[in-house]
Amino acid sequence: MRLPDGSSIVSSPVASTLVLGDNDAVLVDPPFTYEQIDRVRDWIARSGMRLAYIYATHGHGDHWFGADRIMRRFPGATAYATETTIAMMHQQSTVGRAQRWDVDFPGLIPESPVVFEPIPARGFTLEGRQCQAVGVGHTDTNDTTVLHVASIGLMVAGDIAYSGVHQYLLESRGGGIQAWLAALDIETEAVTAEVTEWFFEDYLPTWVGVGKAADDGPGFILDYWGVPLYDYHPDGGQWALDGDSVTGRLNITHTRLRANGYAYTEVVDRSVRLYHRNGAAIEVIWSRRRADDTEIERLAVHFEVIHTQNGWRIAAIQRRFTHAESLSDAWAAADDEDLR
Ligand SMILES: [Zn+2]
């Protein structure tokens, strides 16, 4: 058997990925032998990019031992991994090296201090584009991840997906293969992460920003709410059939909140359920508050969200005032109960 490029197999092959922006780059999964590392270092240098970040998809040493040697040549880089990956790195760089890596590759692997820090929950940005770790559980080892760059539809899959070579199955006893097969449904996780980020990191802060300061007209909402829009609340449902009608609905809410000193929205509870690649349900309990943290109003909202050629849009809203702390309590009340 040979590698996809025709060369002979020495060990399970490693793929390192360089994601390029206009000036900055992210290296995903640095390799582990001196020879491989130096080839990757030259590759980065030839790209002319500033190496801003390194990301390791999982803890296996062949996907990160070279990080320190790469950072010595590109000292401005920050190395990220998830906390569970970092925990496994400490095992791999000590016991793992002694029992396996330095036995199979004696003298070929440089010092491998764990130079990684925990990736923030929201990931990091490369020139404004969000790069997010998506955990997929056990694949070729435990707690593996992919790096997802939703804005360009990129998923760097590490050892979750192999190309033309036999998978590394040594850690897949006791249900590991089933877990791995489930992880291959990664698109679901990645799209869920994408719509979640759009809703909570883009839509919500924009809505709050306009709501509290009115430094932008209500027209921005047409970047988030679809036309027509169906809006249901216990007093009845209504269609907003054109753009003016949609922005008018928002204006009523924002005007009411501004009159009450609105400053921000606290998310009391939330749930995101993906139906398929192009549709999701997002539910929240919004607590709309003043700057002194007192609550103006609290409501449970169900959003039907669809993916259009212009991106994600809210197509329908179901909302009700509530006192509840959880979505299940909020929705349990009958429509005709006094919900305020
Ligand atoms: Zn691996």
pLDDT digits (tens, 9 = 90+) for 128-172: 999 999 998 999 999 999 999 887 878 899 999 887 788 889 899
pLDDT digits (tens, 9 = 90+) for 275-298: 988 999 999 999 999 999 999 999
Mean pLDDT of 41-51: 97
Task: Please list all protein residues whose beta carbon sits less than 5 angstroms from ligand 1, which is an ion.
Answer: 60, 140, 159
Cβ atoms of 324 and 300 within 8 Å: the answer is: yes
Q: In this structure, how many other beta carbons lie within 10 angstroms of the beta carbon of residue 82?
A: 22
The Å distance, Cα 122 to ligand 1 centre, comes to: 24
The Å distance, Cα 226 to ligand 1 centre, comes to: 43
Mean pLDDT of 103-127: 95
CA torsion angle 319 322 324 325 (round to 10): 60
The Å distance, Cα 139 to ligand 1 centre, comes to: 8
Distance in angstroms (rounded) separating the CA atoms of residues 32 and 108: 8
Residue ranges of domains in the chain, CATH in brackets: 17-184 (3.60.15.10), 192-332 (3.10.450.50)
Cβ atoms of 57 and 158 within 8 Å: the answer is: yes
Mean pLDDT of 7-15: 82
Is the pLDDT confidence value at 3 over 80? no
The Å distance, Cα 116 to ligand 1 centre, comes to: 17
Residue-level pLDDT at 153: 77
Residues with Cβ within 8 Å of residue 155, at least 6 apart in sequence: 134, 146, 147, 148, 149, 186, 190
The Å distance, Cα 160 to ligand 1 centre, comes to: 8
The rounded mean pLDDT for the chain is 93
**Ranges 18-22, 192-196, 220-224: which has the least confidence:** 192-196
Mean pLDDT of 77-102: 97
The Å distance, Cα 142 to ligand 1 centre, comes to: 9
pLDDT digits (tens, 9 = 90+) for 190-217: 888 889 999 999 999 999 999 998 777 8
The Å distance, Cα 117 to ligand 1 centre, comes to: 19
Confidence of residue 80 (pLDDT cuts 50, 70, 90): very high
Is the pLDDT confidence value at 338 over 70? no
Is the pLDDT confidence value at 72 over 90? yes
Residue-level pLDDT at 189: 79
Residue-level pLDDT at 337: 67
The Å distance, Cα 64 to ligand 1 centre, comes to: 10
The Å distance, Cα 318 to ligand 1 centre, comes to: 45
Distance in angstroms (rounded) separating the CA atoms of residues 277 and 194: 10
Instruction: Annotate 287-304 with three-state secondary structure.
Output: EEEECCCCEEEEEEEEEE
- Percent pLDDT > 90 in the chain is 78
Residue-level pLDDT at 184: 84
The Å distance, Cα 67 to ligand 1 centre, comes to: 15
Is the pLDDT confidence value at 336 over 70? no
The Å distance, Cα 140 to ligand 1 centre, comes to: 5
At residue 56, the 3 state secondary structure works out as: coil
Confidence of residue 186 (pLDDT cuts 50, 70, 90): confident
